[in-house]
């Protein structure tokens, strides 16, 4: 098949709409949450096993790296939550137009950014 259509294989030059970015971030945040549950369940198991395990987990969570990981997991959770609420609202028929979708995406990004910054201040 000889197609004369232009083919753009350079992903850096493709301009995606804001709705695509929010959709991709929603999926990425879901994957991060899925993988982060493994770490959190391990820490929970260790902390419930003994007093020494609890002390180890408590000491580990005071390190800056652990705070960064917890902040990352909470950021993924909060973004996923806000984007999920947007999807539920769209399931009710609100914001299904192109303009409504763009506005909803902007609201998701703005609300998520504010909440994520507030959680970062709370953790640190």
The alpha carbon torsion through 77, 83, 87, 88 (nearest 10 deg) reads 60
Compute how many other C-beta atoms are within 10 angstroms of the C-beta atom of residue 13.
7
What stretches of 50-124 show up as alpha helix (H) in DSSP? 51-60, 64-91, 98-123
Burial of 83 (0-12, 13-18, 19+ CB in 10 A): buried
Q: Is 80 annotated as a binding residue?
A: yes
Annotated binding site: which residue ranges?
Answer: 80
Residues annotated in a binding site for heme: 80
């Amino acid at each position: 098949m000889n197609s004369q259509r232009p083919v753009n294989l350079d992903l850096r030059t493709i301009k995606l709409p804001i709705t695509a970015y929010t959709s991709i971030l929603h999926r990425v945040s879901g994957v991060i949450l899925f993988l982060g549950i493994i770490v959190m369940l391990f820490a929970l198991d260790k902390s419930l096993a003994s007093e020494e395990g609890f002390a180890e987990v408590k000491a580990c969570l005071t390190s800056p790296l652990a705070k960064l990981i917890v902040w990352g997991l909470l950021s993924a959770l909060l973004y996923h939550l806000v984007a999920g609420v947007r999807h539920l609202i769209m399931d009710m028929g609100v914001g299904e137009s192109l303009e409504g979708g763009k506005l909803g995406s902007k609201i998701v990004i703005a609300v998520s950014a504010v909440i994520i910054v507030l959680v970062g201040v709370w953790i640190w």
